[in-house]
Amino acid sequence: MSQQILGWSGERAMLACDSQVMSWQEGGAVAHGSVRKMYSLGSHALICSAGLEAGVEISLALKGRVEKEGIDDFAQIDRLGREFLGQEYNHFLLQHKPWFIAHPEAPQLLYFTLAGYDRQEGQCWAFVLESKDLKLPFQEMAIGEIITMPRVLTVEARFIRLWADPAQSLDDLARFCHNSLEKIAACDDRVGGPFQTAAVTTQGVHFYSDFI
């Protein structure tokens, strides 16, 4: 299990996550921590994976591709990312799907959250791509401007109010996300730190709490 908190609208987006990924050990699926999952894509975008540990390597591969091509526009990252993530996950499945077939109880969920600032349109966007049961192509989840994944409705309700309050700074919102992840982790041992919290604005990406 992993936990993410996402907010996006206008000229800002915020994403927070824990460091748990799903893997398989003899006896069942387990979550383990100390894996950095959120990365910047260029100067004005973020990516975060959840579910299978393979998502971390795929995220890093996309980060490298974006840096190599010098892409900073989120519209371009959007187009490249959808195709690239699908191709990389397909390569992973070609290599490992027989193992998953032999171990049907193993985790089979992977999703990617991307958020960024589109300088041409002058606003932030976010989308979530999901694969269940090792299936491709990725399906885009329907999301609102505030969402937790998995859903934690009490956190969402509070975050909606704070997000809409002009008196709340990005520092305040980041602190709320970090504290919320800590509270979730205290009740669920499948969620755990270190926690990452980052925002995208017209000025670019800023990490408020990062993987240490």
* pLDDT tens digits, 39-90: 999 999 999 999 888 999 999 999 999 999 999 899 999 999 999 999 999 9
Please give the sequence-ordered ranges of beta strands (E in DSSP) within the chain, or none if there are none. 4-9, 12-17, 21-25, 28-32, 38-40, 45-51, 109-118, 123-132, 139-140, 146-149, 196-201, 204-209
pTM: 0.94
> Does residue 142 surpass a pLDDT of 70?
yes
Instruction: Tell me the pLDDT band of 110, cut-offs 50, 70 and 90.
Output: very high
Tell me which residue of 175, 161, 201, 148 sits closest to 12, measured CA to CA.
201
Q: What angle do CA 147, 63, 65 make, to 5 degrees?
A: 135
The widest CA-to-CA distance across the chain, in whole angstroms, is: 54
Q: Return the pLDDT at 20.
A: 87
Count of the separate structural domains present in the chain: 1
Residue 139 token pair: 């399906």
| Other CB atoms within 10 Å distance of the CB of residue 77 | 26
User: In CATH, what number is assigned to the domain containing residue 36?
Assistant: 3.60.20.10
Distance between first and last Cα of the chain = 20
Q: Return the pLDDT at 4.
A: 98
The arithmetic mean of pLDDT across residues 31-44, rounded, is 87
Look up residue 146 and give its amino acid. I
Query: What's the DSSP call for residue 106?
Result: S
> Does residue 129 surpass a pLDDT of 60?
yes
Q: Return the pLDDT at 91.
A: 97
Is-cis flag, bond preceding 166, omega within 30?
no
Domain that holds residue 181: 4-209
The arithmetic mean of pLDDT across residues 26-50, rounded, is 83
Tell me which residue of 61, 47, 55 sits closest to 20, measured CA to CA.
55
Give me the sign of the Cα torsion angle 61, 66, 69, 74: positive
